[in-house]
Amino acid sequence: MPIDTTLVGREFPPTRPYLVTEADVTAFATATGSAAARVPATFPVVVTFRALLDFLEAEQVDLSRIVHGDQRFAYERPVVVGDELTATLTVTGVRQIEGTDILRTTSTITDGTGDLVCTAGATIVHRGDA
């Protein structure tokens, strides 16, 4: 099922606030082999991925047909334990090439006070049934 091209420009509802716990950071750092004096740089994917899952559910897209095209994080400040993070995903572009949908998204990650922590850009590739 092709992804609806009229989604471009649409902002999806923010994810529910996600509390960054010591345990979650340790699990992420252990899984990626990091020493983790600091929250690992790619940790915000935990929040942006939730936004993506919400989006895929809303659009009835099967996760197993999704691969990641690119990803970028630009940080206003490092994420720290105790942050309450929310991601808001906006679709910035949809292209279709031979049955594959290429979706550009931007997610803003804000803390409990609404301040910007990180901006994440991602390209999501949806492989069609062909």
Binding site for another protein (CB under 8 A): 24, 27-28, 30-35, 37-38, 40-42, 45-46, 49-50, 53, 63-75, 78, 121, 123, 127
In whole angstroms, the minimum distance from the beta carbon of 18 to another protein comes to 9
Within 10 angstroms of residue 48's Cβ, the number of other Cβ atoms is 26
| Identity of the residue, 19 or 53, whose beta carbon is nearer to another protein in the bound complex | 53
Helix (H, G, I), strand (E, B), or coil: what is residue 26?
helix
Which residues are within 8 A (CB) of 20 and not within 5 positions of it... i.e. 6 or more apart?
39, 43, 79, 80, 81, 82, 83, 84, 85
| Identity of the residue, 50 or 108, whose beta carbon is nearer to another protein in the bound complex | 50
CB-based burial of residue 124 (10 Å sphere; 0-12 exposed, 13-18 middle, 19+ buried)?
Answer: buried
In whole angstroms, the minimum distance from the beta carbon of 94 to another protein comes to 18
In whole angstroms, the minimum distance from the beta carbon of 100 to another protein comes to 10
| Identity of the residue, 10 or 71, whose beta carbon is nearer to another protein in the bound complex | 71
Q: Which residue has the tokens 């009229």?
A: 6
